[in-house]
Amino acid sequence: MAFELNLLSLFLQASLVVKLVLVILLVISFVSWWFIIEKFITFRRVEKDIFDFNKLFWDKSDLESIFSKILNKERLVGIEQIFFVAYKEFKDSKDKHVNFESIKKIIEISISRNEEILSKRLSFLSTAASVSPYIGLFGTVWGIMNAFGGLSQLTQVSITVVAPGISEALIATALGLFAAIPALISYNWNLNKINNFINEYSNFSEELIIILLKEKDENEGS
């Protein structure tokens, strides 16, 4: 417990290089947690959007009314955007030959754009998870070098003399792990969620194509 209470004093007693390393790791940790919370909120919103639109889509059999309902929305993302671009292309070519290959291509582009949006910030979390331990290790090595360099000037060495310098150095490794572990866990969790969302978008797109094909056949038969 005494060690925990003296973390600030150990930081203040550390060399300039170790202090810089600790500050860098604190910044990385803070930004990582900011992105972790932001991605969590974003993905909860995406899940809600998917649920709400699926409920609307399968409760209403009229695609035109669904299209009209979301037409005036300021910003369409995710599954709503996929439906909008696909059905708009279907409507625009309704009186001509409906090119379903074109509709599929537009859907693929929309899914790809949504994947880019969902993947935003992940590169930072990946970098933080992989780099932070090495930054911490660098601070530790530098601190230990300074500690043993100071010992060389002493004629008598004891554990009470060595311990403070080693403790200052090891803080860098601990902080590096503190920054890396949450970033790594969040990165893997986010990747899994994104894959689930993309699968959801792909499955909906295939179902939508089938429904549009049926509607085309009904229009040609009437």
Runs of H (alpha helix) within the chain: 2-5, 7-13, 16-59, 63-71, 78-92, 100-118, 122-151, 159-221
Distance between CA atoms of residues 78 and 114, nearest Å: 6
Distance between CA atoms of residues 63 and 73, nearest Å: 16
pLDDT of residue 98: 67
Q: Please give the model's pTM, rounded to 2 decimal places.
A: 0.79
Count other C-beta atoms under 10 Å from residue 133's C-beta.
18
Closest by alpha carbon to 27, among 189, 202, 221, 183?
A: 183
Per the document, the length of the chain is 222
In this prediction, the residues of the chain whose per-residue pLDDT falls under 50 are: 1-5
Q: Are 132 and 208 in contact, with CB atoms under 8 Å apart?
A: no
* Mean of the per-residue pLDDT values of the chain: 82
pLDDT of residue 153: 57
- What are the residue boundaries of the structural domains of the chain, listed by start? 11-217
pLDDT tens, position by position, 151-199: 555 555 555 555 556 767 778 888 899 999 999 999 999 999 999 999 9
pLDDT of residue 28: 94
Which residue in this structure is represented by tokens 């439906």? 83
Distance between CA atoms of residues 151 and 7, nearest Å: 22
pLDDT of residue 37: 95
